[in-house]
Amino acid sequence: MNLAARAPVVVLVSGSGTLLQALLDATDDPAYPVEVVAVGADRDGIAGLERARSRGIATFVVPLRAHPDRAAWDAALADAIAAHGPALVVSAGFLKILGPEVLGRFPVVNTHPALLPSFPGAHAVRDALAYGVTVTGCTLHEVDAGVDTGPIIAQRAVEVLPEDTEESLHERIKTVERALLVEELPRLLGRRDVGAPTGD
């Protein structure tokens, strides 16, 4: 595929960027129809930004504490994203809740390490183990104003083993989560209802 025909995507990270790395690895294949045009974060000095910089991909940092309130931060983040003209924004381990400015201007998707609507929030793997489920998994979903409440795009199941700890289960989920994101993004970008930013 011609690189010019690739769909531009901005990825938001807050940490190590292993989901981002899976996407970057996928883009090594010239036939993969997605291009990561920029990586944004809410703080500097994280591995996710270094993964992007090592490939010459544009990065930006919009710290919440640098703004007087969340609304100002939301507007600044939306402007930083808009500068790269993405068809889609991927929240890949981004730990801040996105506000109405970002969500109103761009389609945003997120991965979550549970089979939503079960176990939303930051402790999904721990909660699944505590509940005693025998199957959990991961979800790719659209981001809305709630916490892990947006429409579900795709899910994959992961068996919970009797000897699982939170760490061992989370590692297996993350492997499936990375594959889910890489496989579903091209399909998602081909949908008519996911397109260019809706405003400036």
- Is residue 123 part of the annotated active site? The answer reads no
Distances (CA, A) of 139 to 39, 128, 136, 142, 174: 22, 14, 10, 10, 11
Catalytic residue, from 84, 112, 141, 170: name it: 112
Outline where DSSP puts E strands in the chain. Answer: 7-13, 34-41, 58-61, 88-91, 108-112, 135-142, 152-159
Encoded amino acid at 4, one letter: A
Residues at the binding site for (6R)-10-formyltetrahydrofolate are 70, 95-98, 110
Q: What one-character DSSP code corresponds to residue 175?
A: H
Name the binding residues: 70, 95-98, 110
CA dist., res. 97 & res. 49, Å (int): 19
Q: Which residues are catalytic?
A: 112
